[in-house]
A and B are shown apart, each in its own frame.
Chain A
């Protein structure tokens, strides 16, 4: 689903001065050569911390991202759409499994990550704190939220941490189905009745602001990320990612005859960059801090699942198995 690493909080680079300069230089040289970092390699504390945070947030986004679409499985129009949506949602939960494993190689246990999700300590992609009113909202997510996620994930797959890159390669292969399926759904609505077209237009109006937020705060106001770019933790600025998304998908939305609810949206032919009304970053902050329309419900669903699944975990527990950090 997601994968931008666009946490709103800034990073503290103080710990860098305490790192061994020789090791740090060797580490940076390895990344500059294009080599991957593996779990047992030396790495700066900040690199480890930032990667855990980013991969963990990505994993949570897959799990929570399954909820707004999952609700439409039983109400999807027709058997084929039900099967496809079920397969897609199953993929998203599978993505979370792969991503949790990658984060675990850095030393944080899966249990700790899940605890941090349900007690509200960890974040996930803001876009999933909005409701899916109609089937068309669900189609918007399948096509365009996934498209945004793919822009991020393809970039991150070229990053420096081996286990994360390997997980992303696998994930990206599955995302191509999500994207084609989502586009297919929207083409059907677009070429259908006036009512169907109206449904999608309304969904587009609702989802455009969160979609613009999806790539994170504008470069003008977002935290300093130079060191994360040098370490190939972050593979592009938020604005670069947003621009890439607009470049690929705005023409496709217009082609279907829909109106994007931003009168200032246009491509500047000289700079090659898209211009748009500045998204409301106060709203973004409000939602990321827990006050969006669905934040409470999303976490509550996870808590209920955790509580109701407890007896199963208890029943399965075996003294012979033991948690250890994954190898690679």
Chain B
């Protein structure tokens, strides 16, 4: 291709026309949760598409932690997030959840609340439960203070790809990368000097 851009000029010629992609060859969807500061609860941050959860974790790190925006991060397949209906006004998402106890082998679930419409879902705590439905019931018993919650999510702990303590070092290198920081571009002195020169001449 003939271009001003040397990288474009070097691109190989694609012989056959590019056919459209095979339907849905874009991988799975994974929800990303980050911890903004040490000691703060995790919150929902967005999604990535990836062929598996391990790559989802890598891509999530690239997409969501290029700056000092978090201290840890984890991902879960969207299909593994059990979701209550979204409510509005005074109506509490916990109200329609039945309070039936269940027996069976229990595992840990992470519970997320939407406390204000328009904001992110924030981690409320963990419960032990046999099924996702049961996790909702347990969450109702433990975390429903009566204050309106608009949406509740439950994710089985064993479906999550967490960041291990060793991997946390990945985030520690960022503070040295000052060139990504607006405060590293102080043009003020140079501008002042330039304006003074302009005044004299």
- A316 contacts B78, C-beta separation under 8 Å: no
Shortest Cβ distance from B194 into chain A, in angstroms? 4
- A40 contacts B86, C-beta separation under 8 Å: yes
In the assembled complex, which residues on chain B have CB atoms less than 8 Å from the CB atom of A323? 24, 26-29, 49
- Cα–Cα distance between A104 and B31 once the two chains are bound (Å): 13
Known: A98-B46, A301-B8. A190 touches B194 (CB 8 A): yes
Pick the most buried of A67, A132, A176, A184: most chain B CB atoms within 10 A of its CB. A184
Pick the most buried of A119, A167, A177, A183: most chain B CB atoms within 10 A of its CB. A177
In the assembled complex, which residues on chain A have CB atoms less than 8 Å from the CB atom of B52? 318, 320-321
Which of A30, A84, A174, A322 is the one whose CB lies under 8 Å from B179?
A: A84
Interface hits, B33-81 → A, CB 8 Å:
44, 46-52, 55, 62-63, 66-67, 77-79, 81
Which of B14, B44, B183, B187 is the one whose CB lies under 8 Å from A183?
A: B187
Is A317 an interface position by the 8 A CB rule?
Answer: yes
In the assembled complex, which residues on chain A have CB atoms less than 8 Å from the CB atom of B195? 255
- B11 contacts A307, C-beta separation under 8 Å: no
Which of B20, B83, B183 is the one whose CB lies under 8 Å from A115?
A: B20
In the assembled complex, which residues on chain B have CB atoms less than 8 Å from the CB atom of A132? 4-5
- A180 contacts B118, C-beta separation under 8 Å: no
- Cα–Cα distance between A205 and B151 once the two chains are bound (Å): 53
Is B166 an interface position by the 8 A CB rule?
Answer: no
Is A191 an interface position by the 8 A CB rule?
Answer: yes
Give the total of B residues in contact with A, Cβ under 8 Å. Answer: 64
- B66 contacts A324, C-beta separation under 8 Å: no
Is A297 an interface position by the 8 A CB rule?
Answer: yes
Shortest Cβ distance from B121 into chain A, in angstroms? 7
- B51 contacts A91, C-beta separation under 8 Å: no
Shortest Cβ distance from B176 into chain A, in angstroms? 12
Is B90 an interface position by the 8 A CB rule?
Answer: no
Known: A98-B46, A313-B25, A323-B49. A35 touches B117 (CB 8 A): yes
- Cα–Cα distance between A167 and B46 once the two chains are bound (Å): 8
Shortest Cβ distance from B184 into chain A, in angstroms? 8
In the assembled complex, which residues on chain B have CB atoms less than 8 Å from the CB atom of A94? 62-63, 66
Is B141 an interface position by the 8 A CB rule?
Answer: no
| Residue-wise interface mask of A (256-294) relative to B, using a CB-CB cutoff of 8 A (1 in contact, 0 not) | 110000000000000000000000000000000000000
Interface hits, A85-128 → B, CB 8 Å:
87, 90-91, 94, 97-98, 101, 104, 109-111, 114-115, 118-119
Q: Which residue of B lies closest to A73 (CB)?
A: B7
- B180 contacts A307, C-beta separation under 8 Å: no
Give the total of A residues in contact with B, Cβ under 8 Å. Answer: 74
- A183 contacts B185, C-beta separation under 8 Å: yes
Interface pairs A-B: 6 shortest CB-CB? A321-B28, A36-B118, A71-B5, A191-B194, A184-B185, A180-B185
16 cross-chain CB contacts under 8 A: A38-B86, A84-B179, A98-B46, A111-B21, A111-B24, A131-B5, A166-B120, A180-B187, A184-B186, A300-B1, A307-B18, A316-B51, A322-B28, A323-B26, A327-B31, A327-B44
17 further A-B pairs in the complex, CB-CB below 8 A; given A36-B117, A177-B185, A327-B153: A38-B117, A38-B118, A40-B85, A40-B86, A41-B88, A74-B6, A97-B63, A111-B26, A162-B117, A180-B182, A190-B194, A304-B14, A317-B51, A321-B52, A323-B28, A324-B78, A326-B78
B: residues with CB less than 8 A from A are 1, 3-8, 11-12, 14, 18, 20-21, 23-29, 31, 44, 46-52, 55, 62-63, 66-67, 77-79, 81, 83, 85-86, 88, 117-118, 120-121, 153, 177, 179-187, 190-191, 193-195, 197-198
A: residues with CB less than 8 A from B are 30, 35-36, 38, 40-41, 67, 70-71, 74, 80, 83-84, 87, 90-91, 94, 97-98, 101, 104, 109-111, 114-115, 118-119, 131-133, 162, 165-167, 173-174, 176-177, 179-181, 183-184, 187-188, 190-191, 255-257, 297, 300-301, 303-304, 306-308, 310, 313-314, 316-318, 320-328
